[in-house]
Chains A and B, each alone.
Chain A
Amino acid sequence: MIRLIRRNAWVAGLCVLFILLAVTTKLIQPDYGAGDFGSLMRAVLPYAFAVAAQTVVVIAGGIDLSVAAMMAVTSVTAAAMMNGASESHALFVVPFVLALGLCLGALNGFLIVWTRVPDIVVTLSTLFVFQGVALLILDAPGGGAAEWLKGLVVGTVPIPFLPESVTAWIPKALIVLVICLAVVWIPLRRSQLGLSIYAIGSSELAAFRSGVSVARTKIAAYAIGGLFAAMGGLSLTLSTGIGAPIPGPYLLASVAAVVLGGVALGGGKGGLLGPIIAVIVLRLVRTDLTLLAVDPNATTIIEGLIMVIVVMLGAFLAMRGRTR
């Protein structure tokens, strides 16, 4: 047990932080209930998927600046295709959009491998390209979403053998998030591809010399990132009912949460759980500050300061760990 905690010290620390924040929330707002938690999770959903997308890419030793733009493209595509279409039509739209995200991500990876231009520069250029594509599909927020899809993230679902007071605290949005991430991440983590992704992240040369196809693994990592981004785009369309062609603040949030979640920016270290908890913590901080009636502008300062201080602390601890 102690070994387990020590090996996941960072994630454990985040969990403690989360619990502390949850208690604080309850203290400053005694009425904070299951419904508020549900809306928090709905707000977290697109952020969490953006973070997942960034995490996979960062573990593979890259960075994806086009996450938010990919989410915009997939969101407007979904919204434009579902606009005025029948409810069952959405059954085709969802897989199509997910495949689109996979392709966009794979395109990023392919360009990086093929042009040999650094990841940052390639994804910076595709950021412009994807923004442009999103604007061409919908030049203003619009479109629609199928009702059953929208219902997917609202409310709770009864779980057998659990009293209603417990299920009320498990909103559908959380279940959707956990299922979507687990379906992709758990098989990946256990497969050869997952191992290769960690390998090229920690040392591309060593991975190459041990027979890992660096190019193929990198493309796969970016493609999975694209898949998560497409889920994020879909969740955006679901929670708002429309598609917005202008990318939201997800890029910055995703990079911040990845680092807060204990994933090294150099690659090869960390998991998916840490960043996801980190993004929930960041959103909860925002909720708390709103509940405390702090000036919303000052909220930005506090968020930035938290990010800077935590990252500095993490880097400092890592440095002490190395020298010892």
Chain B
Amino acid sequence: MSVTAAGAEAVPLGKRIRRFMSDRPLVPLVILLVLLVVALQILRPGIVNERWIANTVKFAIPLAILAGCQTMTMLTGGIDLSVSTVATMAAFIVSTQAVEHGPVIGVALALLPAVLIGLANGIGVGIFRVHPLIMTLGTSLVGIGCLQVYQRTVIATGTKVPAFLSWLGTGVTGGFPNALLLFIPVASLILFVLNRTGFGRLLYAVGDNERAARLSGVVYWKVILALYVGSSLLAGVAGLLYVGLIKAPSLSLADPLLLPSVAAAVVGGTSIFGGRGGYTGTILGALILTVLTTLLTILQMPEGARRILFGLIVLLVTAAYLRIVEDR
């Protein structure tokens, strides 16, 4: 375990590999992804084809967007546990309102609660300094309650997933899922914001050392407020996409995505304590988790054993990744 400083000439191969990987933390993730796909191909020869890839990408995209919310909030040392509620609200509202009011107003109505919840989160975390975990749990409880009340008022109208959302969610054009039309701009935006803008720098700065950031003139609450509103909006967009994919709006639509979204960000190398990580790793993390789920389904194990393996693998990957990146 203990890695002592060795001479520059006689560096053993193992350590060279390790050093290479710690310089490029994405390489081990790519290797893991490839290994999982190879394992899948060995277990069920011929499964890895164009259609399967398109399908995997389709299911990974909502997860990747939600994991993007987690990545950005984690960079500041926070976490956003209201994403699944926000996504579900957006999905449910759009599938009840778009029929009557048309898609544009429907989407606007669907994203309104997302903004409100984001504002509440931002005010709570940024101004009142509530722990993000508690604040987002609380707002998500309020959100679920509102949704339940709302559901009873629209019980007569019924739900219908708008055509453009199911086209976006499930459609495939020339081998590429249509969801990429939404995801590529969203992902580029997140990457651009995190890597190339002042706001992105501020997120890293606040997460790395809040006191230092504050002393150098960062207005903490403004950054946090903008962050949580943005995160909620993204979650709402993910919900719109997800309902197009699943096509069955319910009050627990996006709940199964909440813990995997945290896991995807963590597997992708984002530190839950803030200041370290990035979105590229998170996308890979979301892909890895999606392929892993397929793999575990194909093995035809009982549900219990599948969950056990899922948990163990997430833990194992995170632990191994930490060792690789941090042991120098």
Q: Is residue B299 within 8 Å, beta carbon to beta carbon, of the partner chain?
A: no
In B115-159, the 8 Å CB interface with A consists of 120, 124, 128-131, 133-135, 137-146, 148-149, 151-152
In the bound complex, do residue B142 and residue A308 qualify as a contact, i.e. CB atoms below 8 Å apart? yes
Contact with B along A297-309 (1 / 0, CB 8 A): 1111111110110
In the bound complex, do residue B139 and residue A304 qualify as a contact, i.e. CB atoms below 8 Å apart? yes
In the bound complex, do residue A132 and residue B307 qualify as a contact, i.e. CB atoms below 8 Å apart? yes
Q: How far is the CB of A51 from chain B (nearest CB, A)?
A: 14
Q: Is residue A316 within 8 Å, beta carbon to beta carbon, of the partner chain?
A: yes
In the bound complex, do residue A139 and residue B142 qualify as a contact, i.e. CB atoms below 8 Å apart? no
Name A's interface SS.
helix
Q: How far is the CB of A78 from chain B (nearest CB, A)?
A: 17
The docked-state distance in angstroms from the alpha carbon of A316 to that of B79 is 20
Q: Given A116-B319, A117-B315, A301-B142, is A259 in contact with B149 using a C-beta cutoff of 8 Å?
A: no
The docked-state distance in angstroms from the alpha carbon of A122 to that of B311 is 9
**Partner among B142, B143, B302 whose Cβ is within 8 Å of the Cβ of A135:** B302
**Partner among A120, A297, A301 whose Cβ is within 8 Å of the Cβ of B272:** A120
Binds B, one of A93-101, A123-131, A195-203, A234-242: A123-131
Give the size of the chain B interface in residues (CB under 8 angstroms): 47
Q: Is residue B303 within 8 Å, beta carbon to beta carbon, of the partner chain?
A: yes
In the bound complex, do residue A301 and residue B134 qualify as a contact, i.e. CB atoms below 8 Å apart? no
Q: Is residue A315 within 8 Å, beta carbon to beta carbon, of the partner chain?
A: yes
Q: How far is the CB of A5 from chain B (nearest CB, A)?
A: 25
In the bound complex, do residue A307 and residue B262 qualify as a contact, i.e. CB atoms below 8 Å apart? no
In the bound complex, do residue A127 and residue B315 qualify as a contact, i.e. CB atoms below 8 Å apart? no
Q: Which residues of A contact B (CB under 8 A)?
A: 63, 111, 115-118, 120-122, 124-129, 131-137, 139, 252, 255-256, 259, 265, 295, 297-305, 307-308, 311-312, 315-316, 318-319
In the bound complex, do residue A300 and residue B307 qualify as a contact, i.e. CB atoms below 8 Å apart? no
In the bound complex, do residue A255 and residue B152 qualify as a contact, i.e. CB atoms below 8 Å apart? no
In the bound complex, do residue A311 and residue B315 qualify as a contact, i.e. CB atoms below 8 Å apart? no
Nearest residue, chain B, Cβ from A306:
B138
Chain B residues, CB < 8 A from A318: 129
Q: Given A256-B134, A308-B120, A319-B129, is A133 in contact with B308 using a C-beta cutoff of 8 Å?
A: yes
Q: How far is the CB of A284 from chain B (nearest CB, A)?
A: 17
Contact with A along B255-273 (1 / 0, CB 8 A): 0000100110010000111
Chain B residues, CB < 8 A from A312: 124, 128, 130
Q: Is residue B56 within 8 Å, beta carbon to beta carbon, of the partner chain?
A: no
**Partner among A111, A127, A134, A139 whose Cβ is within 8 Å of the Cβ of B259:** A127
In the bound complex, do residue A128 and residue B137 qualify as a contact, i.e. CB atoms below 8 Å apart? no
The docked-state distance in angstroms from the alpha carbon of A312 to that of B126 is 11
Given contacts A125-B318, A303-B141, 13 further A-B contacts (CB under 8 A): A115-B315, A115-B322, A131-B311, A132-B303, A132-B307, A136-B302, A136-B308, A304-B138, A304-B139, A304-B142, A305-B142, A312-B128, A318-B129
Nearest residue, chain B, Cβ from A295:
B149
In B233-280, the 8 Å CB interface with A consists of 259, 262-263, 266, 271-273
**Partner among B137, B149, B152, B307 whose Cβ is within 8 Å of the Cβ of A131:** B307
Contact with A along B270-313 (1 / 0, CB 8 A): 01110000000000000000000000000000111111111110
Chain A residues, CB < 8 A from B304: 131-137, 139
Chain A residues, CB < 8 A from B312: 125, 129
In the bound complex, do residue B322 and residue A116 qualify as a contact, i.e. CB atoms below 8 Å apart? yes
The 9 A-B pairs with the shortest beta carbon distances in the complex, nearest first, are A128-B311, A304-B141, A135-B304, A301-B145, A300-B145, A132-B307, A132-B308, A304-B142, A136-B304
Q: Is residue B314 within 8 Å, beta carbon to beta carbon, of the partner chain?
A: yes
The docked-state distance in angstroms from the alpha carbon of A137 to that of B302 is 11
**Partner among B306, B314, B322 whose Cβ is within 8 Å of the Cβ of A132:** B306
Q: How far is the CB of A130 from chain B (nearest CB, A)?
A: 8
Nearest residue, chain B, Cβ from A309:
B138
**Partner among A132, A302, A305, A315 whose Cβ is within 8 Å of the Cβ of B130:** A315
In the bound complex, do residue B134 and residue A259 qualify as a contact, i.e. CB atoms below 8 Å apart? yes
Q: How far is the CB of A71 from chain B (nearest CB, A)?
A: 16
In the bound complex, do residue A300 and residue B259 qualify as a contact, i.e. CB atoms below 8 Å apart? no
Q: Given A125-B312, A299-B145, is A252 in contact with B137 using a C-beta cutoff of 8 Å?
A: yes
Nearest residue, chain A, Cβ from B315:
A125
Chain B residues, CB < 8 A from A319: 128-129
Nearest residue, chain B, Cβ from A138:
B304
Which residue, B124, B149, B151, B307, has most C-beta atoms of chain A within 10 A? B307
Nearest residue, chain A, Cβ from B265:
A121
The docked-state distance in angstroms from the alpha carbon of A132 to that of B144 is 26
Chain A residues, CB < 8 A from B79: 120
Q: How far is the CB of A68 from chain B (nearest CB, A)?
A: 12
In the bound complex, do residue B311 and residue A129 qualify as a contact, i.e. CB atoms below 8 Å apart? yes
